[in-house]
Copies of this chain bind each other. A is one copy, B any other.
């Protein structure tokens, strides 16, 4: 079923989702602050002219809640232009309360809202194989199902209202961020004891100390390749969101705080635009170690 789809934010995730939506035969409009990204998207068969009145689906794939709110309800916001029954997918990592607020404000305008944060990285986005941690009304799920089928491999259906999707995403980001920083801590600690990074990957990825992030990111350090698949900059933002949510209930998250401090240190070293495995450089500098490729 061909639909009229808008993708707001053609970053590495949004661009891949837009391509996946195109590939399935939808008409897809892409919006981004970068003219270059939009021009590339047109070459791929996408559209960027003013959004039509006839949109069925809007996927908001921006950085955070402030951008999500601006896109939907700011000056020139999209929500006011959508037809009744259109569905908005909120894909940014945001607080559950914010997702609930977006749902309420959309519903008040006759628009459906699916709390739909995404996981899997740029590669999976381009292949239409993301995981979506989704929650929302039955109507929102029904309206979103075709586009979810285009962009994702797995849809976790986590509840009948906005909030639980974003809560699960925050839980996942807590662990993902901690595991990247812990991997960096362990890899560099090993180096102080003569364990080479390639040996670290070979052995630990087969042992009880392994994690999804270790298997995915530690090879970047072995290769000395910090071209960003996922940037350091993601983690001060996402772990900050986790801690903001935790603060609302007085929950202490000391390990998250400790990992956040490492990513902030990496950002302070000017590494925000590098692959997030570059958090290892903060440890290497402290310990006087030379990482592969340096």
A233-259 vs B, Cβ < 8 Å mask (1 yes, 0 no)? 000000000100110011111111111
Copies of this chain held together in the complex? 2
Closest partner residue, chain B, to A177 (CB atom): B209
Complex interface residues of chain A between 259 and 283 (CB less than 8 A to chain B): 259, 261-262, 283
A188 to B262, CA, bound (A): 23
Contact A175 B170 (CB under 8 A): no
Q: Determine if A119 is an interface residue (Cβ-Cβ < 8 Å).
A: yes
Q: Determine if A18 is an interface residue (Cβ-Cβ < 8 Å).
A: no
Given A158-B203, A168-B203, A255-B258, A183-B192 contact (CB < 8 Å): no
Q: Determine if A182 is an interface residue (Cβ-Cβ < 8 Å).
A: yes
Which one of A8-16, A25-33, A37-45, A194-202 is at the B interface?
A194-202
Closest CB-CB distance, A246 to chain B, in whole Å? 6
Contact B172 A253 (CB under 8 A): no
Chain B residue numbers with a CB within 8 Å of A171 are 186-187, 189-190, 193, 195, 200, 204, 209
Q: Determine if A214 is an interface residue (Cβ-Cβ < 8 Å).
A: yes
A83 to B92, CA, bound (A): 67
Q: Determine if A227 is an interface residue (Cβ-Cβ < 8 Å).
A: no
Closest partner residue, chain B, to A254 (CB atom): B258
Contact A178 B176 (CB under 8 A): no
Q: Taking chain A's interface residues, is the majority helix, strand, or loop, or is none over half, making it mixed?
A: helix
Given A174-B186, A190-B168, A262-B254 contact (CB < 8 Å): yes
Closest partner residue, chain B, to A200 (CB atom): B171
Contact B192 A175 (CB under 8 A): no
Q: Determine if A286 is an interface residue (Cβ-Cβ < 8 Å).
A: yes
Contact B182 A179 (CB under 8 A): yes
A258 to B178, CA, bound (A): 11
A259 to B210, CA, bound (A): 16
Closest CB-CB distance, A244 to chain B, in whole Å? 12
Q: Determine if A131 is an interface residue (Cβ-Cβ < 8 Å).
A: yes
Q: Determine if A77 is an interface residue (Cβ-Cβ < 8 Å).
A: no
Interface-central residue, A163, A189, A195, A257, by most chain B CB under 10 Å: A189
Contact A204 B262 (CB under 8 A): no
A114 to B56, CA, bound (A): 67
Contact B131 A193 (CB under 8 A): no
Q: Determine if A211 is an interface residue (Cβ-Cβ < 8 Å).
A: yes
Contact A204 B175 (CB under 8 A): yes
Closest CB-CB distance, A119 to chain B, in whole Å? 5
Q: Determine if A138 is an interface residue (Cβ-Cβ < 8 Å).
A: no
Closest CB-CB distance, A91 to chain B, in whole Å? 15
Question: Which 3 pairs show the lowest CB-CB distances between chains A and B?
Answer: A175-B209, A167-B193, A211-B211
